[in-house]
Structure 1
Amino acid sequence: MIQSNPIKQFALYAIGIYILLYGFPFPLNHVPYAHELFSKYALAVQEKYILFFGHSILGMDSFEKIQMTGSGDTTFDYVRIPALFSLALLIGLIFFFIKKTRAKAEPFYRTALIYARYYVGITLITYGVAKFLEGQFPGPSFSTMETTIGNISPMGLAWRFFGYSDTYKIFMGLAEVTAGFLLLFRRTAILGALVSISVCLNIVLVNFSFDVPVKLFSSHLLLFSILVLLPKVKPILDFFILHKTSTLGEFKPHFSKKKHKITWLVINLFIIGYIPITIISGHLISQQYRTMKNDWEGLYYGFDIDANRAWNKLMLEKNYMMLQSEYGPKEYFSIQEIKEGGEILIRNQEDEKKPHTLHIKDLGNEQFEILLKLGEKEILAIGSKKDKSSYELVKRGFHWINEYPYNR
């Protein structure tokens, strides 16, 4: 048990408050209407404080928050850490100097650790479930296999590596989901923390090694997992290293009033039951937008580039179409509908109101006629088609016996 000295009491408040500030708005982000009624206002206040901290404390005159970049390692995210920690120190100092609350530092910190394991647990379940479905790591695509390895980013290399094997994705998903669910229950929380540390350490190393812009977030998941385990390190070392009789114990909130017990039960049922169910159902619902049966799927190539057509490759895969020149930019279209006779309705981001059309006709002898209508412009081309089974990455497959290594 942590000794009740002033410095440690203050430290417990500061760390506990930082955990709560960083994790916010969890779990309110899973409560219907909570964002509109409360969370968005609290987040707006937090954002203003972070901007104030960057401008006034760090002297960053041009500092601003860039909205929706897809990156978790923006300048704003880096400034957010010392800003929230400074706020945690300030709030912790206030609690510390209030005589009635100072003695409650340890129970507060233990409650913050419960919040931390719920936060990490739900996050790992979210990412874990995604790995069983189409989502985070897509399998080899035509665009992927048509891009030379020297022209992909380190993150792209990692995503292609993980996406190739469904078996490995399932293994990663099982590890994350297992760690997540173990963290949600107090009797298995320590085992969950041990598994979570292993899982999150691997994630952190991948993110730092391949420049994946989720370094700060994954590092916090690892940090919170370590904090959950930290109070139990001594009994674990006593048992496994020193071979002493040891007990981990568990923290179970004690409530004297019935209404507090009922409230705590409802919170647990919401986090442990409702949230995982909504996460899983949400991932399943998203599959209808990620997958589409496309009988015309393939890479159409062999077109001559001319003034009327700046591309020589047309890729159809699931619910999207892509046009690409040999080394030029790529233009993406979403497939809205696949009709009979090779007619496909497509849309791009620039013209969402009226769909364009693509007509494909099999001419035989492995030749296909492509008629692409983009608004008033019609493009006619004849070329060949390549299926995924033509690529060495796909057709090589798995072999139990290899008389010689096949490493191309």
Structure 2
Amino acid sequence: MSANTPWTIFQKIGFRFFFIYTLLFTSPFPLNIFDFLSNIINKIDEFIWLNLVPYIGENILNVFIDSSGSYRFTGSGDTTYNYVQIFCYFLIAVLGTLIWSLIDRNRKNYVKLLRILVVFLAYFLIFSMFSYGFYKIIPLQFPVPSLGRLVQSYGDSSPMGIAWTFMGASKAYTMFSGFAEVLAGLLLIFRRTRTLGGLVCFGVMMNIFAMNMCYDIPVKLFSFHLLLFALFVFMQDWKRIFAVFFTKAATIPRSFPQYFKKRSFNIIATILKVYIVSWFFYVCISQAMSANESYGPNAPKPYMHGIYDITHIEKNKDTIPLLITDDTLWKRFIIQRESYIYAYQMNGDRVNFKLEFDTIQKSMYMKKRSDSTDTYDFTYTLKDSILTLKGTHLNDTILIKAKQFDLKKFKLINRGFHWINETPYNR
């Protein structure tokens, strides 16, 4: 688009709104990815929105949001807070567009500012694609199905739980999804491949957005905006692409002029670009590797990790019949995470306990997370996959015997991959 081509009033107003809204949504990027700036930038960002969002929610939308500053990240990006925040972006963008239109109403176009916005959004997408991509290449976002998931029935799974199990069950497919995201990010780095990068990113994000919508995964708002930004980057070249596929008009190779007239400025810009992209790689890969060591596939498994099916219970030296109708009894317990144990009752309900091991004294202390007075104090022995627990619960003596389940018996684990299938193995 020529710098001398006049824009219509609707193009100028639309660009002003989109520019302001985009900066609001992406803030405080990219300042928050640099360690020496992230703390203070994030605190300023939180201070602004933790005061503004509850005020707008209560006074305009009649929605109560805790204004004490106790809002915390829950893993969901689709909270009431997030939706009200999007509404705040919209209001500020409308007001900003009105003021901008009054002050700058005689400007012919925003071609230069558009180029800057495209570059900015490309870098925002690059970082987002790298972040999510490397967390799939190293299977962190979708880990292998947990022990609790393996014993859970399909009917008791949430749609999101099914999606996480589906992705985590195949490391190869998860890595393929990650490579697709990283590829989109790589293509967005260079101007000559940026249009293709926008198209690849749009395709990747379309699949992710559809998955979020169809499986009720609470990243709908963020994935929709990434989808929108990818389309925006791709559509900068829509006329040429339309001409190639749908008309007989000749198209000439696109030129890529330098951003600045002075050669020194362009050298500085190139150095800055290399630094920023390298930093993106470093941050995303180092975070993924660190997470891999702390809770990913390379993280050490907790002591006595496994599923234990209860075969015998004694209370005050009386044998308790293991009746499936007795909801007070446990049928199994799982040690999946460090310092936690999950006991499953006969009706399938899960009870969470904090767990402390003393491997020298061979003792384990369990405290119910929802009731700190509900405790178990056991000594244990584990021999030939048989776990024996002896101890006390409140004023009662307890003896429990449980057999460690062989995880290789799960079809989700032992089925593997087959080039040849004479019949579908759909179980």
TM interval, short-chain normalised: 0.7 to 0.9
Structure number with greater Rg is 2
Q: In the aligned structure 1, how far is the partner of 2:377 from the partner of 2:114?
A: 60
Query: 1:227 aligns to what?
Result: 232
Query: 1:214 aligns to what?
Result: 219
Q: Which amino acid aligns with 1:316?
A: I
Matched, 1:194 2:205: no
1:296 and 1:342 in contact (8 A); partners too: no
Change (3 A) 1:390 1:126: same
Provide Cα deviations, 1:166-187, integer angstroms capped at 9, x if missing partner.
1111110111111112122222
Query: 1:140 aligns to what?
Result: 145
C-alpha displacement at 1:18, in angstroms? 1.0
Q: CA RMSD in A?
A: 3.5
Q: In the aligned structure 2, how far is the partner of 1:252 from the partner of 1:304?
A: 78
1:51 and 1:63 in contact (8 A); partners too: yes
Structure 1 residues 244-259: aligned runs within 5 Å: 244-247=249-252, 249=254, 254-256=259-261
Structure 1 residues 3-402: aligned runs within 5 Å: 3-58=6-61, 60-64=62-66, 66-99=71-104, 102-103=107-108, 105-242=110-247, 244-247=249-252, 249=254, 254-256=259-261, 261=266, 264-265=269-270, 267-290=272-295, 291-293=299-301, 296-304=304-312, 311-317=330-336, 319=338, 321-326=341-346, 327-331=348-352, 333=354, 360-364=380-384, 366-370=385-389, 380-402=399-421
| Worse-matched range after superposition: 303-312 or 132-141 | 303-312
Q: Which amino acid aligns with 2:11?
A: K
Q: Normalising by structure 1, what TM-score?
A: 0.85
Change (3 A) 1:220 1:252: farther
| Worse-matched range after superposition: 203-212 or 79-88 | 79-88
SS of equivalent to 1:399: coil
C-alpha displacement at 1:88, in angstroms? 1.7
SS of equivalent to 1:69: coil
Q: Which amino acid aligns with 1:169?
A: T
Provide Cα deviations, 1:186-211, integer angstroms capped at 9, x if missing partner.
22211111110110000010000001
SS of equivalent to 1:92: helix
C-alpha displacement at 1:145, in angstroms? 1.2
SS of equivalent to 1:220: helix
Aligned length: 402
Q: Normalising by structure 2, what TM-score?
A: 0.82
1:305 and 1:311 in contact (8 A); partners too: no
SS of equivalent to 1:168: helix
Gaps of 5+ in 2: 317-327
Q: In the aligned structure 1, how far is the partner of 2:314 from the partner of 2:291?
A: 39
| Worse-matched range after superposition: 392-401 or 177-186 | 392-401
Provide Cα deviations, 1:67-104, integer angstroms capped at 9, x if missing partner.
32221111221222232122122223333333499346
C-alpha displacement at 1:6, in angstroms? 2.8
Change (3 A) 1:74 1:238: same
SS of equivalent to 2:141: coil
2:209 and 2:220 in contact (8 A); partners too: yes
1:294 and 1:338 in contact (8 A); partners too: no
Q: In the aligned structure 2, how far is the partner of 1:282 from the partner of 1:242?
A: 47
C-alpha displacement at 1:332, in angstroms? 5.0
1:116 and 1:224 in contact (8 A); partners too: yes
Q: In the aligned structure 2, how far is the partner of 1:123 from the partner of 1:162?
A: 19
Q: In the aligned structure 2, how far is the partner of 1:406 from the partner of 1:258?
A: 63
Q: In the aligned structure 2, how far is the partner of 1:372 from the partner of 1:103?
A: 82
Change (3 A) 1:105 1:35: same
C-alpha displacement at 1:351, in angstroms? 11
Q: In the aligned structure 2, how far is the partner of 1:165 from the partner of 1:203?
A: 17
Provide Cα deviations, 1:273-305, integer angstroms capped at 9, x if missing partner.
112212101110122211214574321112456
Q: Which amino acid aligns with 1:329?
A: R
C-alpha displacement at 1:19, in angstroms? 0.9
SS of equivalent to 1:384: strand
C-alpha displacement at 1:35, in angstroms? 3.5
1:343 and 1:360 in contact (8 A); partners too: yes
2:6 and 2:108 in contact (8 A); partners too: no
Change (3 A) 1:146 1:99: closer
SS of equivalent to 1:312: strand
SS of equivalent to 2:78: coil
SS of equivalent to 1:83: helix
Q: In the aligned structure 2, how far is the partner of 1:39 from the partner of 1:260?
A: 31
SS of equivalent to 1:102: coil
C-alpha displacement at 1:143, in angstroms? 0.7
Change (3 A) 1:325 1:76: same
Change (3 A) 1:42 1:166: closer
Change (3 A) 1:265 1:56: farther
